[in-house]
Structure formats: structure tokens, C-alpha cells
Structure 1
Amino acid sequence: MQFTYDSLAKSDVLKIENENYKHIIKARRHKVGDILAFRNLEDSFLYFYEITLIDKRSAILNLKSSEEKIVEVNNKLHIGWCIVDPKTIEKELPYLNELGVEKITFIPCDYSQNNFKLNIEKMEKILINSSQQCGRSSYIKLEMASSLDEFIKANPDSFMINFSNKNIEECKSEIKIVIIGCEGGFSKAEVENFNKEKIVGFNTPLILKSQTAVTAVASKILI
């Protein structure tokens, strides 16, 4: 782990309990006097704490120093992801976070299954764990849109990934916002109502799953 997340990191004294205690004291076997890096993931600072007291269920740490350290990719990417199975999303989130995706907005589309319910709190915990591992100084912002039309109105510069003779390589430097379909892709009406000049595809004859397409897009644009 590159750092430990604690929402209170910045305060002069930290008391760690539960999962952080188990990980730092029980698993990593840190002792009194050790210096550990923390982030609150709200600002861009690393906070360095010294363990000063350990008991059976908690530990006390005192702030020793701080350092502003921004760890982010240079490019920005906002993904509009038509809703798929939450298990699929949760599995893919760490990879997208490591690649540096800035924001994901989940969109109910014509082929989305209406019974899928997204647990944003659970997904944020997955992203926090990912940032602790990869060192990113933030994590992906997660939002919900009420419809594809609403998303496009709010983000008129969006591109769409679909079957197209226009390859994403031709315009990837222009893409800051991109819409990925769910399993089954986009409906005929959704495609027809979209700006044809902003529909792009991959140089492959193969049909990609939604999660494959979303990771491929992020990789091409961000790294």
C-alpha cells in the first residue's frame, strides 16, 4: 500500500480502529515509533503519522509532517457508462481507477436491465482501496444520470463508442467524455439521435463486452 486512507487524516492525532487497525497492526505488524503515510483523499496532501500507542483494539498516531503530492494522470476522461450488472462494474472499477479515469456517470439506457441497483457507497470503498494500492491522490467521482438524453444535454461534446468506420485513434485527443453501451449495445433510436460525427469505433471485427470496451477506451485515451 502506498498510503492508508482515513477521512480524518490532517488532524494532529489519529485513532485507528477496525479494518485499519487490523491491517496496520495485526497484518503489517507496525510498532510504536513507526512512521506511516495517510491521505484523506479530499486534498492532495500526504500526512505522515508516528505510532505512539497501541492497545488491543486501537492505536494512537501523532502527526509529524505533511507533503503536498499530486499523483494523477495528465489527461482527463469522463465516462458515461450505460448500466450493466453491478458485479461487472465493481470488478472493473479498480482497473479504471488505476488508469486515471476522472469521473463515471451511470446511465439507464434502452437495453439496461431495470432491476439493477447500484451501491455507490460500496463502489467508493472499492475505489479507495484501489487508490491506496496504486498511489493515486484521488479516486473516480461517481454520479447517476436519469437518462441518456439528460446526459447528452449536460455533456454535448460526448463521443459514443459503437460500430463505426471512424476509428477512435483518429480523434482520441479530442475525447474528454465518452459513452459506453451496456450489454447489447445501443438501441437503434439511441444511435439515430446521436451526432453521427461523434460515433467512433475500434479497429477490430470482434464484438466487445461493455467492460472490455470501457477499459479499452480508458487505456487508449489516458496512457
Structure 2
Amino acid sequence: MHRFFIDQSTEVNENVIISGNDYNHLKNSLRLNIGDRVILSDGDGFDMEAEITSFSEDEVFLKVLTKEKSGVEAGVKVWLAQGLPKKSKMDLIVEKATEIGFSGLIPFESKRTIVKYNYKKKEKKRSRWQRVAEAAAKQSGRAVIPKIEEFYSSSQLKNLKQKFDYVLLLWENEENLSLKKFFTENNVEAAAEILVIIGPEGGFSAAEVQQFKSELGAQIITLGPRILRTETAGITALTAILYEKGELGD
């Protein structure tokens, strides 16, 4: 069934109204009719099966038939703090990370970030990435749309220290601590919140790495002997973390 996200919590036998772009998609693109059923997600991890009961000129009315906690969302919450990449690479990162199961993105500017956005461009980009996350969440059957945060500077990331149980920084010059070793040495709970920091195309300087280590308590992680592109590193780490915690199937 087709999936739509709603911004309200509702119960069985209650009515829901869909309007705007989702109304146009449901009625004009999908050509759904009265009696057809869809899945509604409220953004809090619940899925509802609902039946279309009627249409108006710009709204569709549905009745909720069932409601249950989604089994799709991962217990461990993984966020990516992504150094701004060039061109449309962030679209790819957001899309694929959403499909795999991340919780959200923190875009940030570091010393070696090549792209620079003014305030207006930043908000336009953030809104675009949020739409990419929503589309990918619908396609992949997610019950929650990952959140795209406001832009940070690298110095502002220290404000996130208390929000995460673990902070991991991927660095190509690290040789000792792998993700496998990290999980061996730490009893990471099933519902842990993890922030993974990825540099832009130019990577991080040794001074920046030390800054993240001292201000954020970041553990410096290697993903192996091969140097990964910025659009590959976060997706790879996310996949490995979810696999390690049993979130990619038994």
C-alpha cells in the first residue's frame, strides 16, 4: 500500500484529512478512489491502515482502521554529522542513509569545506534535503522521517556532546580503532544514540581531529585501509553499525 505521513496522532475509527501535495499525489497521480486503503505514519513510529471515505475539491478524507507500532525503525539511533560536500552529493547521502535507517543529519562547515552557502541558500538546501528524506522514507517503508537539522559550524558541534551516548569521527589517518574494535570495547545498548562525524572532500586536519576529540569526546575510527569518498563513508559506517546491532535482519 502507498504510504503518507501525517502531522497528527490519531486512533482507530478516527478520521484523517490529507491536503496539499499529498492530496494531489493521492488523487491525481496514484488515482486512488473511495474504498482504497493506504498506510499513514504519524512520525512517532506508528503505522495506521486507513480507508478513503470521500473527497472534496482539495482534500481527501480517510478513516483509520488499524494502528500499531512499526517494526521498521531501528532501536539504535544513528545521526550523521556531514561536512558539506560539493554538488548534489548530499542528496545521495540523505536518500541512501534514510533507506538504510539513520535518524537524522547535521550538515556542518569545517575548515576544508569547499562549498559556502549564505543564509538564504542554507535554508533552501535544508528544505530540499528534508524533502529528499521524506520521499526516501515513503519509498523504503519508514515510519519516521529523518530530521535534517540547521547548519552547524565545526566549533558548534561541541554543543551536541550531551545529546549522544557515543560520538565517532571517521578519519583516514586512524590506524588502531576500527568499528569492530569499538563495539568489542564498548557495551553499546540497543537503544543507544550515536553521532558519526564525516569530513568533506578535503577531510579533517590533525588539529580538527584533536579538537573534536577534546571538545566532543569523539572516538577516532578507521573504516579500513581504503580511503572512502565523503558520500560513501557515512553510509558505510551507518550500515556497519546497524548490522552490528542486528538491525539489518537476523
Q: Does 1:40 align with 2:47?
A: no
The CA deviation at 1:121 is: 1.9
Q: Does 1:149 align with 2:155?
A: yes
Question: What aligned pairs does 1:109-148 form with structure 2 within 5 A after superposition?
Answer: 109-113=110-114, 115-116=116-117, 117-118=121-122, 119-144=125-150, 146-148=152-154
Check the 8 A contact 2:40/2:48 in 1, yes or no. Answer: yes
Distance 1:89 1:172 in 2: 28
The CA deviation at 1:177 is: 2.0
Q: Does 1:204 align with 2:213?
A: no
Paired residue for 2:197, among 155, 162, 179?
Answer: 179
Gaps of 5+ in 1: none
Alignment deviations for residues 120-149 of structure 1 (CA, whole Å, 9 cap, x no partner): 222222111111111211122222354323
TM-score, normalised on structure 1? Answer: 0.83
Distance 1:194 1:115 in 2: 21
Counterpart residue type for residue 103 of structure 1:
G
The CA deviation at 1:38 is: 1.5
The CA deviation at 1:215 is: 0.7
Structure 2 match to 1:220: 240
Q: Secondary structure at the match of 1:85?
A: coil
Q: Does 1:168 align with 2:179?
A: yes
Question: What RMSD, in angstroms, separates the aligned Cα atoms of the two structures?
Answer: 2.8
Structure 2 match to 1:188: 206
The CA deviation at 1:40 is: 3.0
Choose 77-86 or 8-17, whichever is displaced more: 8-17
Check the 8 A contact 1:45/1:66 in 2, yes or no. Answer: no
The CA deviation at 1:91 is: 2.1
Q: Secondary structure at the match of 1:217?
A: helix
Structure 1 match to 2:168: 159
Distance 1:79 1:136 in 2: 18
Distance 2:35 2:25 in 1: 17
Choose 110-119 or 97-106, whichever is displaced more: 110-119
Q: Secondary structure at the match of 1:131?
A: helix
In the superposition, relative to structure 1, how do residues 192 and 37 fare at CA in structure 2: closer, same or farther (>3 Å)?
closer
Distance 2:18 2:160 in 1: 41
In the superposition, relative to structure 1, how do residues 92 and 63 fare at CA in structure 2: closer, same or farther (>3 Å)?
same
In the superposition, relative to structure 1, how do residues 26 and 151 fare at CA in structure 2: closer, same or farther (>3 Å)?
same
Check the 8 A contact 1:160/1:198 in 2, yes or no. Answer: yes
Check the 8 A contact 1:49/1:61 in 2, yes or no. Answer: no
Q: How many residues align?
A: 220
The CA deviation at 1:185 is: 0.2
Q: Secondary structure at the match of 1:50?
A: strand
Distance 1:214 1:201 in 2: 12
Gaps of 5+ in 2: 189-193, 244-250
The CA deviation at 1:161 is: 0.6
Q: Does 1:7 align with 2:4?
A: no
Q: Secondary structure at the match of 1:67?
A: strand
TM-score, normalised on structure 2? Answer: 0.75
Choose 77-86 or 167-176, whichever is displaced more: 167-176
Counterpart residue type for residue 201 of structure 2:
E
